[in-house]
Amino acid sequence: MSLQDSIPNNVDLGSDRKLMRALEKWQPNFLEWWRDMGPEGFQEDQIWLRTAISVDASGWAHYDYVKMPDYRWGIFLTPRDGERTIGFGDVSEEKVWDEVPGELRGMLRRIIVTQADTEPASVEQQRLLGKCAPSLYDLRNLFQVNVEEGRHLWAMVHLLHQYFGRDGREEAEALLERRSGDVDKPRILNTFNERTDEWLSFFMFAMFTDRDGKYQLSSLSESGFDPLARATQFMLTEEAFHLSVGEYGVDRAVQRAAEATVADSNDDARAQGAIDLVTIQKYINFWFSSAVELFGGEISSNAADYFAAGLKGRHHEQKKYEDHAALGEIYSMPIVEKGKLTSQEVPLRNAINEQLRDEYVADCERAVARWNKTIQKAGLTGVELSLPSRRFNRRMGIYAEYHFDPRGDLIDEATFEAKKDTWLPTAEDRAYVQSLMKPCYEPGKMASWIAAPRKGVKGKAIDFEYVKFTG
């Protein structure tokens, strides 16, 4: 099969010789990376996967069995009808750019590389999870997420190759050289160096960390650099599934935890082989506080520059906002001053990151409310999960040098240290969760710590053979 056939695309790849040559050189390195750093094992098995084959909303994906190394990683840009103008910043109303404006080249490359780097990073973080999936259904979902993160890497590498010349080619190679968690060559953003080696963490990652990705992609889909806007817009289509894997995965662990608590004479979920809600709450605290860092500094001149230059807008910039200049507006944010929490007024453009974080937090609150409904439905009363304050357990930004409890109240270091083990997973909690990670590969069966999903994938039954082992 020629490369042109093996890369489904709507960017007229066949007519661009130079781009084809660049991608032809990159593809074998990508496959080598996939074999090395993609899911360990399972490469010869048949996985029932969806593949993006067009941008047609009514039928953009094709579902069938495929071996992962044969997956067709495609390149798709959402088409635009007619002329589009930039929708925000100092360049508002100007025509969008089809090429990279010279003066924005450095910034734009940094934005694309940072986004691109997260895609292979998450595949690396998750590479051992196949060995202990709680069901075939979950195993399939994991691999679906993995191959699509691979496609997102392709989407960003396409932009680097097509629009950034030699620098772009070098960046594309470097994306295959960094490794999640590697001391010498780590991935760019810290959360993507965090270990995700059991399934509760995987679901938390897909719920909280990947959800940051949704908001980043959404603000990039407003970009004045049109190829980036169109690439990220299509990535969001796939991303929605990743987020649902996280949200429903946690939901099913919560359901099982609540049911096991009710069933046990001592309210001890662990005695029933489930994960207890206290531990689940600690994982929420940990993963949420790690993911909120990804939005960047609360007060950020970089974010202001990106916005002013028309590179990165806000989530639903066109739908949600009336004033697209965001000049002369004020954002009021809690800060610590003289040992007390007070509020500070910040020019809105410098608080763009915080505004995006607001959207994200509200979205996470919605999911937590759903989990609490699940607890109620299981007949367990008096127990609720909650989202910690965004100030809790931070390593970066204006809250990093202080200590806060999960409610967001300022506390001293000694109090934090004394309480830490009740707020964040301990080595013992992690060991317990790890001890439950036994593969459960009989179609339709679930591991002891998780409830069955409500329905299967794309109309298939829950006990459908989502993965056919050939070994």
**Residues 8-47, mask of contacts with Fe ion (x by CB under 5 A):** ----------------------------------------
When the beta carbons of 230 and 430 are compared against Fe ion, the nearer one is: 230
When the beta carbons of 213 and 388 are compared against Fe ion, the nearer one is: 213
When the beta carbons of 245 and 437 are compared against Fe ion, the nearer one is: 245
Q: State in angstroms the smallest separation of the CB of 119 from Fe ion.
A: 5
When the beta carbons of 160 and 269 are compared against Fe ion, the nearer one is: 160
Burial of residue 367, with CB atoms counted within 10 A of its CB: 0-12 exposed, 13-18 middle, 19 or more buried: buried
The residue range among 222-230, 236-244, 266-274, 386-394 that interacts with Fe ion, by the rule CB under 5 A, is 236-244
Closest to 213 (Cα-Cα) out of 230, 196, 195, 189: 189
Kindly state the tokens that stand for 417: 């240290």
Q: State in angstroms the smallest separation of the CB of 52 from Fe ion.
A: 12
Size of site (CB under 5 A) for Fe ion? 6
The residue range among 180-188, 206-214, 265-273, 343-351 that interacts with Fe ion, by the rule CB under 5 A, is 206-214
Q: Is 50 in the site for Fe ion (CB under 5 A)?
A: no
Helix (H) or strand (E) holding 158: helix 136-163
Separation CA 55–CA 58 (nearest Å) = 9
Q: State in angstroms the smallest separation of the CB of 268 from Fe ion.
A: 35
Residue 470, C-beta contacts closer than 8 angstroms, at least 6 positions apart: 44, 45, 46
Whether residue 466 contacts residue 460, with contact meaning beta carbons closer than 8 Å, is answered with yes
Q: State in angstroms the smallest separation of the CB of 413 from Fe ion.
A: 36
Separation CA 235–CA 256 (nearest Å) = 32
Whether residue 387 contacts residue 368, with contact meaning beta carbons closer than 8 Å, is answered with yes
The residue range among 3-11, 202-210, 226-234, 389-397 that interacts with Fe ion, by the rule CB under 5 A, is 202-210
**Phi and psi torsions of 334, nearest 5°:** -70, 130
**Residues 172-191, mask of contacts with Fe ion (x by CB under 5 A):** --------------------
Q: State in angstroms the smallest separation of the CB of 91 from Fe ion.
A: 27
Q: State in angstroms the smallest separation of the CB of 9 from Fe ion.
A: 18
Q: Is 247 in the site for Fe ion (CB under 5 A)?
A: no
When the beta carbons of 187 and 242 are compared against Fe ion, the nearer one is: 242
What does the CA dihedral 364, 367, 369, 370 come to, rounded to 10 degrees? 180
When the beta carbons of 231 and 451 are compared against Fe ion, the nearer one is: 231
CA neighbours within 13 Å on the CB side: how many for 158?
24
Whether residue 50 contacts residue 28, with contact meaning beta carbons closer than 8 Å, is answered with no
Identity of the residue numbered 83:
E
**Residues 114-133, mask of contacts with Fe ion (x by CB under 5 A):** -----x--------------
Query: 340: which strand partners?
Result: 337
Q: State in angstroms the smallest separation of the CB of 238 from Fe ion.
A: 7
Separation CA 422–CA 300 (nearest Å) = 33
**Residues 424-453, mask of contacts with Fe ion (x by CB under 5 A):** ------------------------------
When the beta carbons of 9 and 232 are compared against Fe ion, the nearer one is: 232
Separation CA 343–CA 331 (nearest Å) = 10
The residue range among 2-10, 74-82, 185-193, 237-245 that interacts with Fe ion, by the rule CB under 5 A, is 237-245
When the beta carbons of 117 and 119 are compared against Fe ion, the nearer one is: 119
Whether residue 385 contacts residue 255, with contact meaning beta carbons closer than 8 Å, is answered with no
Match 């946690």 to its residue by tokens: 250
Identity of the residue numbered 375:
I
When the beta carbons of 153 and 309 are compared against Fe ion, the nearer one is: 153
Identity of the residue numbered 317:
E
Whether residue 37 contacts residue 43, with contact meaning beta carbons closer than 8 Å, is answered with no
Span 130-149, contacts to Fe ion by CB under 5 A: 149
CA neighbours within 13 Å on the CB side: how many for 329?
15
When the beta carbons of 117 and 251 are compared against Fe ion, the nearer one is: 117
When the beta carbons of 193 and 255 are compared against Fe ion, the nearer one is: 193
Separation CA 56–CA 73 (nearest Å) = 17
Q: Which of 152, 158, 179, 312 binds Fe ion (CB under 5 A)?
A: 152
Separation CA 364–CA 370 (nearest Å) = 10
Q: Which of 158, 242, 252, 315 binds Fe ion (CB under 5 A)?
A: 242
Identity of the residue numbered 361:
V
Q: Is 210 in the site for Fe ion (CB under 5 A)?
A: yes
- Residues forming contacts to Fe ion in the complex (CB under 5 A) are 119, 149, 152, 210, 239, 242
